[in-house]
């Protein structure tokens, strides 16, 4: 490990960046260095700009993917190398605003019915029942289930924050059946490696298998269940601030985007077409007059 990489890792650890973020930043900076075959501390804003053009035009990466590389390089040059030009000379690409694709309650049921593994069904059910991120669901411990208070503890979710969410009675029943069959010790959903929780990739693969079996045409990932959780609560009239608390959103604006896809918001509005009087059938067009 080079001294520069070691220092960057230490800088990220000091600031308590998430493990996934640290791995991603190191990978992005390594790719940048390999592209020019030169250490990043020997390069400046022109090389960064050239690399951004390469990612967009040669690699055809989406703006969201380029943003990850930009964030990593900004951290390297601003924090680790303390270059004053870093924030100004590394522009962040504008991300297109996209609304999530929302599963209906019936589609959620079809998806869960298509999961054949008890463990995989339990973890996907937990993601929907409590609105958990995939990383939060995979890192649930047996001790996080509080059946007395009917709450789930989310330990160090996104932003290194703890929170509690409701424990659905149906989810509790499912988790108890799973626990009696699997007898997990520490991690509620252990992975293939001893002492480690199930990986996000394993959950994603299980979700894709269920997606294919369900016959649902919409795109689905495990995060789709979190989107469905928020939207279905909104459609039932739950206050948006309460949903923000349950989902662990830092900003209310992140939660309010679900107002744009909730049927209670969109379908409650009457189209002006429905306010018009009855429209008669089309009339046959008159023959065009002859011109000579």
Instruction: Please give the positions annotated as active site.
Output: 133, 158, 223, 226, 249, 258
Rounded (5°) CA angle 121-127-130 = 125
Q: Which two tokens stand for residue 260?
A: 């744009």
C-alpha–C-alpha distance, residues 66 and 36, integer Å: 17
32's tokens: 């940048």
Strands (E), the chain: 145-146, 151-157, 161-166
H-type alpha helices, 77-143 = 86-89, 105-113, 118-130, 134-138
Q: What are phi and psi of 208, to 5 degrees?
A: -70, -35
């Amino acid at each position: 490990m080079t001294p520069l990489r070691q220092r960057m890792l230490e800088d990220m650890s000091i600031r308590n960046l998430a493990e996934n973020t640290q791995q991603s930043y190191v990978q992005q900076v390594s790719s940048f260095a390999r592209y020019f075959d030169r250490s990043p501390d020997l390069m400046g804003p022109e090389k960064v700009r050239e690399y951004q053009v390469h990612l967009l035009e040669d690699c055809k990466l989406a703006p969201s993917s380029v943003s990850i590389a930009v964030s990593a390089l900004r951290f390297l040059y601003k924090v680790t190398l303390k270059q004053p030009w870093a924030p100004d000379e590394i522009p962040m690409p504008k991300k297109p605003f996209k609304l999530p694709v929302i599963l209906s309650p019936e589609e959620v049921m079809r998806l869960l019915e298509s999961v054949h593994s008890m463990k995989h069904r339990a973890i996907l059910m937990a993601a929907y029942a409590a609105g958990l991120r995939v990383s939060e669901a995979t890192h649930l411990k047996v001790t996080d289930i509080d059946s007395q208070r009917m709450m789930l503890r989310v330990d160090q979710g996104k932003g290194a924050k703890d929170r509690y969410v409701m424990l659905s009675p149906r989810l509790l029943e499912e988790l108890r059946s799973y626990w009696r069959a699997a007898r997990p010790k520490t991690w509620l959903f252990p992975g293939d490696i001893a002492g480690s929780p199930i990986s996000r990739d394993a959950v994603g693969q299980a979700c894709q298998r269920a997606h294919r079996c369900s016959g649902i045409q919409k795109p689905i990932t495990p995060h789709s269940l979190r989107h469905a959780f928020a939207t279905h609560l909104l459609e039932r009239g739950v206050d948006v601030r309460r949903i923000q608390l349950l989902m662990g959103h830092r900003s209310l604006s992140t939660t309010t985007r679900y107002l744009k896809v909730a049927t209670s918001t969109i379908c409650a509005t009457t189209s002006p077409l429905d306010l018009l009087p009855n429209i008669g059938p089309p009339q046959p067009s008159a023959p065009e007059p002859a011109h000579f």
